[in-house]
Amino acid sequence: MSGRPGGQEKEHTEQAPGGDEAGDTVRRPPILLLTPVDLDTNGIGALFLRELLSSSPLDIVVQREPQYLMENGVMGGRFGSLARATSNRVPFFHALRLRLFGIFSLDRRVAAVSAAADALGAKTIWITASSPEVILVAERLAAMGRDLRVMVWDDPSYSAYNLGLDPSFQHELMERFGVLLKKARRISVIGRNMQEMYAAKYGVCSNIIRHGIDIKNIYSRKSSVNKNEINIVFAGSLYSKMEWNCFISALESVGFKLDNIKIKVSFIGDFPVTGARRSTGVNFLGRKSFQEAMSILSEMDIGYLPYWFDSSHETVARTSFPSKLSAYAIAGLAVFHHAPAYTEVTTLMQRLPFGVACPSLEGSDIIDCVRELIDMLFTDKCIQARQDLLDKEIDKDVMNYRFSFFLS
């Protein structure tokens, strides 16, 4: 179990109800965080958790629940990366691995987590429901009457799909997840669509906690605006390849020029080896550090944000809140959201028009949406909506306030 930095105690006290003027206090018991996330990495989940931990005055101790059989032996050794990549291509590998976890390890892991909480004196266990193993362990802990606070970033059906779990195991996992939510003391979700879906499906209430950004550190925008040239950028990992291909094909069809306005497209990150269309009209900038990427973004006008149109990704498209939206917003970009009409970002844009949602893969429709966004790009309405997005949805103070309630 990994503990506090340096293994030192961090005491948090609260004034007791009815305390006198001297400030009678009671010590808040520690909280145990159970997560599959390695906090020493630079993934989105690790960054999110580090922000929450550093901002909280509470005594929170982290216990990591790694993927079963994936981080030891052959999977965790010298050839681990190759073995893990190969395993994702073997049908039913992960279903078999997780069934073995249920048979040989689940009871032991539940007992270990329960014992760790008791040793700490932790009444509350905060879990991130971001792996099947954690969901299975947490559901057992909830059945024992533990005070669980469940944080959901992506619906588990997404990880089940990525792991290639068979329908039978997917159904079992989602059943366990539903039981967990119903028994949890508090639940946090990533957006309104997920909040409404879980309320309808499981009859539970939840609050929204997103990765917050210190909006006082907003990057300075470029000093001048050239309205004869529009710069569109994509930053990060590209998963929605078909959507990207249609977008680039549409721009190629008009020669990257629209109403005498030159359209320049830049790509920050590692471009996919297969499946995604390369174009001479795109400037491929490669991988950049966070600071370098943000500096480049601040020189752009529009952030391209695609999501899958195919039905197999409907749940994740409907319920996810993409982290790159925060980066685009803090860099001062309007957003071209290329996705079905049911996504979380589309719902958010209906309240805060900080960009345009394009729910089509047809070239003519894409061009119409690009033209619409260019027309609204420098309007006060768009600029104010982007500021409202930062203030009301992405600000770090909003995250901290909601997180404080989540653990209260």
- Radius of gyration (C-alpha) of the chain in whole angstroms: 23
Q: Are residues 330 and 185 in the same domain?
A: no
Considering the domain architecture, whether residues 317 and 174 belong to the same structural domain is answered as no
Last-in-domain residue among 194, 209, 224 = 209
Residue 289 DSSP SS3: coil
- Which amino acid, 229? E
Tell me how far apart the alpha carbons of residues 105 and 118 are, in angstroms, rounded to a whole number: 20
Same domain, 278 and 376: yes
Q: Are 159 and 256 in a shared domain?
A: no
Identify the residue whose tokens are 């209260």.
408
Residue 373 makes CB contacts below 8 A (sequence gap 6+) with 302, 334, 336, 355, 356
Percent helix, strand, coil in the chain, to 5, is 45, 15, 35
User: For residue 401, is it within any domain?
Assistant: no
Residue that the structure tokens 């979380």 belong to? 344
Q: Which helix (H) or strand (E) segment is 198 a member of? A: helix 192-202
For the entire predicted model, the pTM comes to: 0.86
Residue 345, judged by CB atoms within 10 A of its CB (0-12, 13-18, 19+), counts as: buried
The answer on 387 and 354 residing in a single domain is yes
pLDDT of residue 403: 98
In a domain, 398, yes or no: no
Q: What are the φ/ψ torsions at residue 260 (nearest 5 degrees)?
A: 65, 15
Shared domain check, 226 and 201: no
Q: And the tokens for 375? A: 């027309």
List, in sequence order, every beta strand (DSSP E) within 55-137. 60-64, 124-128
Do residue 155 and residue 258 come from a single domain? no
Six-digit token string for 89: 């291509």
Q: What is the pLDDT of residue 224?
A: 53
| Amino acid (one-letter) located at 54 | S
Position 270 in a domain: yes
Query: At 403, which amino acid appears?
Result: F
Q: Confirm whether 400 is domain-assigned.
A: no
* Separation of alpha carbons 189 and 301, rounded Å: 30
Q: What are phi and psi of 326, to 5 degrees?
A: -65, -40
**189 and 277, same domain (yes or no):** no
For 59-128, where are the E strands, in sequence order?
Answer: 60-64, 124-128
Instruction: Examine the domain organization and report whether 47 and 83 are in the same domain.
Output: yes
Per-residue pLDDT, 222:
56
* Total domain count, the chain: 2
Domain residue limits at 383: 216-393
Q: With a cut of 50, which residues of the chain have pLDDT below it?
A: 1-3, 5-25, 74, 79-80
Kindly state whether residue 407 falls inside one of the protein's structural domains: no
Residue 201 located in a structural domain: yes
Here the tokens at position 178 are 């539903």
The separation between CA 222 and the C-alpha centre of its own chain, rounded to angstroms, equals 28
Q: Does residue 33 sit in the same domain as residue 177?
A: yes
146 in any annotated domain: yes
The rounded distance, in Å, linking the Cα atoms of 71 and 84 is: 9
Q: Which of 168, 189, 209 is the last residue of a domain?
A: 209
CA distance 134 to 57: 25
- Distance between CA 286 and CA 271 in Å, rounded? 7
For residue 84, the model assigns a pLDDT of 56
Instruction: Please state, in angstroms and rounded to a whole number, the distance separating the CA atoms of residues 277 and 312.
Output: 22
So what's the pLDDT on residue 79?
A: 45
Here the tokens at position 54 are 């550093």
Is 102 in the same domain as 222? no
- Domain CATH number, residue 191: 3.40.50
Same domain assignment for residues 97 and 203: yes
Residue 269 sits in a domain whose CATH number is 3.40.50.2000
Domain boundary pick from 209, 232, 260: 209
